Each structure stands twice: as structure tokens, then as C-alpha cells.
Amino acid sequence: MARVSDDQFGVYVHVPFCASRCDYCDFATWTDRAHLIDDYVEACVVDVQRRKLPPATSVFFGGGTPSLLEPELLARVLDAIPRAPGAEVTVECNPDSVDRAKFDMYASAGVNRLSFGVQSMRAHVLASLGRTHDPANVDKAVAWARDAGFQSINLDLIYGSPGESVDDWRATLDAALALEPSHVSAYALTVEPGTPLGRAVAAGERAAPDDDDQATKYEIADDRLHAAGFHWYEISNWALPGEECRHNLLYWDQGEYAGIGCAAHGHTEAIDGWGRRWWNLRTPDRYLAAVAAGDSTEAGDERLDPATREAERLTLMLRTRGGIKLRSANADFSPMDACIDDLSGAGLLETDGDRVVLTRRGRLLANDVVARLLIALDQQAPSPAGTR
């Protein structure tokens, strides 16, 4: 997997509105703020204009539920964002809040990639997650998208949900692939404190996800997707050739991107090797007030020194098919080299050309692998050249 080039720039637009909140969700979303939508869109437009952004090579509308916006409103924000020729423009969609006319207007506005929150194609599994859509609506939504001319379509799936059997997961994968997406994201269910699911698990009312069950389902997904022509390019993401999400590649390769809207994050890289990560005010009300007052919408930031960036680079890149670079032939053997050798001997890493990448078993234990490599990175001085 090639690195994104240095001239890539992304814009993430956070749409914090939802019709209902899923039981597992801890994102910055609200179900009681629909009256703010028009003003919020205008605030996003003003924020974009004030920032004087360079041309974006990718734009991603996430949330929340971006497809709740009237398409004219979404187009208004998109029109304000300067875009490079051929920019990737993605909109996350709930299958219950779309129709053919909406997709036609998205296409006319310049949207060229859709990401559907499917999670499962089994009704009882969706109910266990607090999802409200009917699996049949996924079929209709994808068909409408195809009729509107969309070819780049992602389906978001979740495995390891309460009450989901292995057969349920296989059925979800088969139904998803029957829709012929170009990209599939599959995530293990994570129980977050403070969510309805988290509270239920803490109270003993619901079972926590089982690690072995999730590992089995990950392997099933990897086998099934590989057989259908998809390749994994990040632990939770598979794509047909050429259909990788360019916007997400920016995140994993420490590229530059701006965050528009409440709770959105941005990242910039300075020429001195330092970086800056920043995030906006969390609630739509405070974001609107800051824009109206001409104040900064940022809630905070952090400066990333070269050592921190190196550690983050390793953490992020090892999640991808590109992996990290091996030492050069004339380099001294280091703690990092020894760790890589040990992890390779344990079947967790493998060599691919001049790179070292996670095996499938390594992907299942990625957090442990990264933790061991970070310890080795910290032990050696100076910091290694080229974990890129």
C-alpha cells in the first residue's frame, strides 16, 4: 500500500444530528437538536470560509447522520470547500434516511462515494444494538445509489454483538457482498462506558463481547472478503483494487486535514518535524455561538514532538497493509530489530519486501504487538530512521 502523497489534504465535516441514538454509540451526536440544523450548516460554511483552506483532495461528511440533512444543505457546505480535481467526497448514510432523489442531488453536488451504516443484516442483531433500520432498506438504499450512478460504496458492519451467532455473521457478510460494494469496513463491537450498552454490561444485564467469538468472526470476514476479491489494507477495512478510502488513508499516514463542525478534529504538520492536533468545541450550541461571535471554534490542541510523532507513526502504519520499514542493511542491530525478530518468530509479523506487516494472527493481537514495539522504540537512541 503506497503512502499518500504530501500534497494530499482532507476536510472532515461533522454532522452531529441523529434521529435516534444507538445503544453502543459514544460519538458527539444529539437527537434533540434538529432545530439547529439550518444555523449549523451556515456556521460550517462561515468556518470553512474563515479558515481559507487549500484545495481538498478528500472530503468526508461523518456523524451523526449526515444523510438527515436536506441535500441542498449538505451541498451548501460542500460548495464552500475548495476541492482539487478528482477529490474523493464521501457521505455517511443511514439506510432509513435516504431516497433516490437525495442520491441524485448528492451526485449533482459532487459527492462520489457513499458509506452506509449497515452494522448487521439480521433484524434481531440490529435490535440488540439499538439500531432502527430495516435490513430490507439497505437493499433499497444501495439500489437507489446505483441508479444515481454511484460506484464507490462502503458498507459498515459490526461483529460480536449480543445475541449474534456465527451463522448470523455469515449471513450478514453474504447479504452485504450480494450488494456488490466496493469497500467493506468491519469493526468488533466495543462497549463504551456511559452508553446504554455500557451501563447494561456494567450492571450485569447484558453480556460483554467475547474475545474468542470476535476473533473467529474476524477470520470469517477476512476469508469471505478475500474470496470475493477484497484485500485488507487496514485492520478493519477491505477494498476492491483501487477503492481504498483516500480520506482515511490520510489519518493513518499522519496527513493534514481540517475539522469542520462541532467535535471535529484536525491535524497539521510543521516543517520542523513537530505536528499539531486540534479539536473543536464539542456541542453544536457552543460551536454556533463561537462562529457567531467571530471566536475560534477550537476547544484545545496539542503539539506533537518528533518522538511522539514517531511513536504515533508506528502505531498507525502498523495497522495498515503498508506496515513499517525494515532497518537498512548497514544499520546496527537495535532493540526494535530484536523485537521485530521476536514477533516474527511468534507468527505475528511477516516481511513484505522492505516492509514488515502484521500477519492475520498479528492483526488479532495488534494492540499487544504495537505495545511491544513502542517499548522497543523507547529503548533505543537515537530514534530509528524510517518506520515509514
User: For the CA atoms of the chain, what is the radius of gyration?
Assistant: 21
Helix residue spans in 164-263 (DSSP H)? 166-178, 196-202, 211-227, 246-252
Half-sphere exposure of 282 (CA within 13 A, CB side): 6
Say which range, 145-159, 343-357, 369-383, has the weakest mean pLDDT: 369-383
Q: Cβ of 151: how many Cβ atoms within 10 Å?
A: 12
Q: Which amino acid is at 300?
A: G
**Average pLDDT value for the chain:** 93
Phi-psi region of 194 (alpha: psi -120 to 50; beta: other; left: phi over 0): left
- Which is nearest to 155 in space by CA: 56, 59, 89, 240? 240
237-239 and 183-188 beta bridge pairing: antiparallel
Q: What is the mean pLDDT of residues 225-235?
A: 98
Report the C-alpha gap between 252 and 234 in whole angstroms: 9
Dihedral, CA of residue 145, residue 147, residue 151 and residue 154, to nearest 10: 20
388 pLDDT band, cuts 50/70/90, is very low
Name all domains of the chain by residue range, CATH numbers in brackets.
9-250 (3.20.20.70), 308-379 (1.10.10)
Report the C-alpha gap between 14 and 259 in whole angstroms: 8
pLDDT at 382: 56
Q: What is the mean pLDDT of residues 303-311?
A: 93
Determine contact, residues 69/34, Cβ cutoff 8 Å: no
Q: Please give the model's pTM, rounded to 2 decimal places.
A: 0.94
pLDDT at 385 over 60: no
Report the C-alpha gap between 377 and 379 in whole angstroms: 5
Q: What is the mean pLDDT of residues 118-142?
A: 93
